[in-house]
């Protein structure tokens, strides 16, 4: 029997004009829907604070050993569910909910400028859009140089690319919490399938080299 896979999905707490953060509402809706019997889903609300992210994320990765971590954030300018392809290390000038901003304006000293997800976001987008879900999905290469981007980069760094970031529009602009929950269920399901395929490929490679060793 296949072992259960572990997925962590996070949303953010309220900040600025977002007195209700659509990302956390959508993640709670996803938790209600679930990802099926073969997936252990853990959800978590992330503070909009740089230092809290730096301490929380390593413990999440270490404690749960997830196959995939998906962060969800709200974007006031988004009108679609937007899949972010990469996280950025530099350019963090906006202060957080504690009025703090990193002195270096960067996420990881000495880290690469940009880290791409191992997940093919274009393929996830194409698959979900062709499923007639009723929620439009798009892709982006700029997660916004705030806590969303900062969190994404940190997870990509910690998880060697096995992370994803999804931006959702504010509630009812145009989608309801239920719509966003269904969209996350579809998106994360497709992402898991792709991560599973890449893991199978890895196992095949190890198996081949093991054969040659005899």
Question: Which of the following is catalytic: 29, 49, 84, 190?
Answer: 84
> Could you confirm whether 106 is annotated as catalytic?
no
Which of these, 70, 61, 2, lies nearest to 30 by C-alpha position? 70
114 is catalytic: no
Question: Going by DSSP bridges, is the β-strand pair 81-84/5-12 parallel, antiparallel, or unpaired?
Answer: unpaired
What is the four-CA torsion angle of 189, 89, 77, 34, rounded to 10 degrees?
A: 20
| DSSP secondary structure code for residue 95 in this structure | -
Catalytic residue among 86, 107, 148, 190: 148
Q: CB neighbours of 131 closer than 8 A, spacing ≥ 6? A: 186
Catalytic residues: 84, 148
């Amino acid at each position: 029997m296949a072992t259960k896979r572990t997925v962590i999905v996070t949303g953010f707490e309220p900040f600025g004009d977002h007195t209700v953060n659509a990302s956390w509402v959508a993640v709670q809706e996803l938790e209600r829907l679930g990802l099926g019997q073969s997936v252990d889903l853990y959800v978590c609300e992330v503070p909009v604070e740089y230092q809290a992210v730096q301490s929380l994320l390593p413990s999440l990765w270490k404690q749960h050993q997830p196959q995939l971590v998906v962060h969800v954030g709200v974007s006031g300018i988004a009108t679609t569910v937007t899949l972010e392809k990469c996280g950025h290390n530099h350019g963090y000038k906006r202060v957080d909910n504690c009025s703090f901003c990193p002195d270096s304006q960067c996420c990881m000293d000495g880290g690469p400028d940009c880290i791409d997800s191992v997940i093919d976001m274009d393929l996830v987008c194409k698959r979900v859009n062709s499923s007639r879900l009723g929620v439009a999905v798009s892709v982006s290469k700029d997660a916004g140089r705030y806590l969303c981007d900062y969190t994404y980069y940190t997870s990509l760094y910690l998880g060697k690319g096995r992370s994803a970031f999804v931006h959702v529009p504010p509630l009812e602009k145009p989608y309801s919490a239920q719509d966003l929950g269904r969209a996350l269920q579809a998106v994360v399901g497709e992402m898991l399938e792709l991560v599973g395929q890449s893991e199978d490929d890895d196992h095949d490679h190890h198996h081949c080299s093991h054969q040659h060793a005899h």
